[in-house]
């Protein structure tokens, strides 16, 4: 129930972009929160921008539409605003989210990303997704799609890790040139959960530069980190289950960083990921 409550507080606060996925196992709560807020008359469906994701076990083209339809059924919505390929690598299709062999190794699956993309295009044509995009794609993988013969729709966005310690300068420039929006995940430096986060990289929000700049504006390091990203054109999807921090993370439109401060923060880049996606 914490997801349901958090999404409702977020919508009341003013958030409209909601980043979800089947593998987060809470799409039923997100859908319920959206529907309750629509019923209350606070928002209309078209005010919300919901992003769903195609998981690795569903890359074979014939699985793409049924997988999106399953997500829509869970959400109880007619369409998603954005549907993205969550990761460029495919796992063996089936019920196991992380299919493993007897030695505990992930079982991959050979699929053609371009064929997966064509099935994504068909979802857009069918009106099930308003836009389609990708996530965790590098330049080479993006080029594979962009150079696909007969490409109907370009990916509108690429969701990747992006924050002051991992600023993605080269990918950002490449995506800018191709009109692909970068959506930055872990914009606050993650929850530092050791089961999936590289915690040898220091905590972002303890950074002295972010804190010093925050002091000047009476803002927190988190607000400075988010402001930095949006000011360089990177969409942010901060996560919080705490009402006070949900509101805090939205109070970033009443100040702006100077060019010098933007450069200072850019210089914090360590080129080290928190989310290594070792699979
Ligand atoms: P919580 O849910 O308790 O607020 P990211 O968005 O980079 O994945 O980071 C998410 C983590 O950052 C969560 O652990 C979240 O914890 C925490 N967090 C979210 N907003 C703030 C904030 N304003 N200040 C400090 N920590 C925050």
Q: Which two tokens stand for residue 124?
A: 């857009």
Give the pLDDT score at 278.
Answer: 85
- Residue reference for tokens 């330049």: 139
Q: Domains in the chain, please, with CATH?
A: 3-267 (3.20.20.100)
Pairing relationship of beta strands 235-236 and 181-185 according to DSSP bridges: parallel
Which atom of ligand 1 sits closest to the CA of residue 249?
23
What separation in Å is there between the alpha carbon of 227 and the centre of ligand 1? 15
Give the pLDDT score at 101.
Answer: 97
What separation in Å is there between the alpha carbon of 198 and the centre of ligand 1? 16
**C-alpha to C-alpha distance for 202 and 151, rounded to whole angstroms:** 42
205 lines ligand 1 (CB under 6 A): yes
Give the pLDDT score at 279.
Answer: 80
8 Å CB contact between 9 and 18: no
Please give the chain's pLDDT, 279 residues, in tens.
899 999 999 999 999 999 999 999 999 999 999 999 999 999 999 999 999 999 999 999 999 999 999 999 999 999 999 999 999 999 999 999 999 999 999 999 999 999 999 999 999 999 999 999 999 999 999 999 999 999 999 999 999 999 999 999 999 999 999 999 999 999 999 999 999 999 999 999 999 999 999 999 999 999 999 999 999 999 999 999 999 999 999 999 999 999 999 999 999 999 999 999 988
Phi, psi of 65 (to 5 degrees): -65, -45
**C-alpha to C-alpha distance for 3 and 39, rounded to whole angstroms:** 18
Give the pLDDT score at 86.
Answer: 98
8 Å CB contact between 170 and 139: yes
- Nearest protein CA to atom 2 of ligand 1, as residue: 240
């Amino acid at each position: 129930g914490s997801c349901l409550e958090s999404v409702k507080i977020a919508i009341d606060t003013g958030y409209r972009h909601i980043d979800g996925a089947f593998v987060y196992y809470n799409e039923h709560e997100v859908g319920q929160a959206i529907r309750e807020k629509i019923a209350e008359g606070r928002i209309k469906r078209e005010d919300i921008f919901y992003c769903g994701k195609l998981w690795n076990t569903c890359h074979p083209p014939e699985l793409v539409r049924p997988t999106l339809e399953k997500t829509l059924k869970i959400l109880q919505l007619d369409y998603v605003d954005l549907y993205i390929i969550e990761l460029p690598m495919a796992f063996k299709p089936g019920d196991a989210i992380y299919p493993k062999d007897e030695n505990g190794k992930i079982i991959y699956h050979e699929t053609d990303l371009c064929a997966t993309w064509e099935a994504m295009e068909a979802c857009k044509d069918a009106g099930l997704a308003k836009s389609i995009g990708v996530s965790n794609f590098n330049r080479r993988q993006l080029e594979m799609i962009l150079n696909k013969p007969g490409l109907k729709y370009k990916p509108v966005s690429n969701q990747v890790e992006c924050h002051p310690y991992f600023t993605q300068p080269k990918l950002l420039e490449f995506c800018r040139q191709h009109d692909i929006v970068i959506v930055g995940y872990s914009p606050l430096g993650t929850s530092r959960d050791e089961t999936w986060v590289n915690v040898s990289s220091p905590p972002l929000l303890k950074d002295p530069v972010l804190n010093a700049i925050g002091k000047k504006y009476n803002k927190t390091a988190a607000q400075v980190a988010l402001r930095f990203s949006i000011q360089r054109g990177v969409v942010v999807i901060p996560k919080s289950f705490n009402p006070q921090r949900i509101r805090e993370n939205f109070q970033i439109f009443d100040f702006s960083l100077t060019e010098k401060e933007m450069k200072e923060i850019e210089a914090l880049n360590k080129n080290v990921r928190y989310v290594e996606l070792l699979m």
